[in-house]
Amino acid sequence: MTYRGSPPAAEPARCVEFSHPAARRSRRPRSPYDAAVRCALLALALAGVVACDDHAAPPALDAAVDAAVDAPPDAPIDAAVDAPSVCDRETRADTYQPGMTRTGAAGFTAALLASVPGPPPRGNSAWDLRLTDAAAVARDDLALRITPFMPDHGHGTAVVAHVTAAGADGRYHVAPVNLWMPGLWSIRVAVADAAAPTVELDAITFWFCVP
Ligand SMILES: [Cu+2]
């Protein structure tokens, strides 16, 4: 609605007196008590939001739920509900076998002689590795650095894997290998000469899914 000329005069103040009593109540000045109650409610509401945020479902749980939800519509309901592991449909993981080997781009090979427990479970395991170079010669003069990482989640672990060289036949003991969350982990074995540990000669990666 538009007005020509000057706007209409403001409504007389007495209009307030004829409004509904409830409206008048809402206009009364708020007492300090009202303010305190409103602040307390607001604080509770905010605390609730923060608390819920803190307890938001972790990515792994999301993945499990997705796996269940993604089940084909004609799959038995039990199969979707049971969905016991995020690994059931994981195709990128290696199947653990004692003695399994993986080779890096520069030809170094790591044999995973044993993971204890094995397969690597959720949590910690201890690995025995045997390292050979591109000429298949066992190497006892290497510095290894083990880095577990969850590529789908973009994080690793704060737990450092300590490497102990056995000093014979290219054997190294690694513990703990900490795979703390269910899902796919890459375990990268960086290979360097012990005399120049910052110069990476090769990198070998094992892939395991933790149920
Ligand atoms: Cu993760």
Contacts of 62 (CB under 8 A, 6+ apart): none
In order of 102, 106, 110, 194, 204, the CA distances from 113 in angstroms are: 11, 21, 9, 21, 15
Please give the distance, rounded to the nearest whole angstrom, from the Cα atom of residue 64 to the centre of ligand 1. 12
Q: 151: which residues sit within 8 A by CB, 6+ positions away?
A: 184, 186
Structure confidence at residue 84 (pLDDT): 75
Cα(175) to ligand 1 centroid in Å equals 20
Amino acid at 194: A
CA of 181 to the centre of ligand 1 (A): 5
- Please, are residues 118 and 208 in contact by the beta-carbon 8 Å criterion? no
SS3 of 171, please? Answer: strand
Does the pLDDT at position 91 exceed 70? yes
> What is the Å distance from ligand 1's center to 86 Cα?
12
Distance from the alpha carbon of residue 118 to the mean position of ligand 1, in angstroms: 20
Instruction: Please report the pLDDT score of residue 5 as a whole number.
Output: 43
What is the whole-number distance in angstroms between the Cα of residue 149 and the centre of ligand 1?
A: 8
CA of 147 to the centre of ligand 1 (A): 14
pLDDT at 81 over 60: no
**Model confidence, pTM:** 0.62
Residues whose CB falls within 8 Å of the CB of residue 64, separated by 6 or more in sequence, listed in order: 83, 86, 182
Distance 202 CA to ligand 1 centre (A): 26
Q: Distance from the CA of 90 to the center of ligand 1, in angstroms?
A: 14
Q: 49 or 87: whose pLDDT is higher?
A: 87
- What is the percent of the chain where pLDDT is above 70? 61
Burial class (CB in 10 A: 0-12, 13-18, 19+), 199: exposed
pLDDT tens sequence across 22-74: 444 444 444 444 444 343 433 334 333 333 333 334 444 444 444 444 444 44
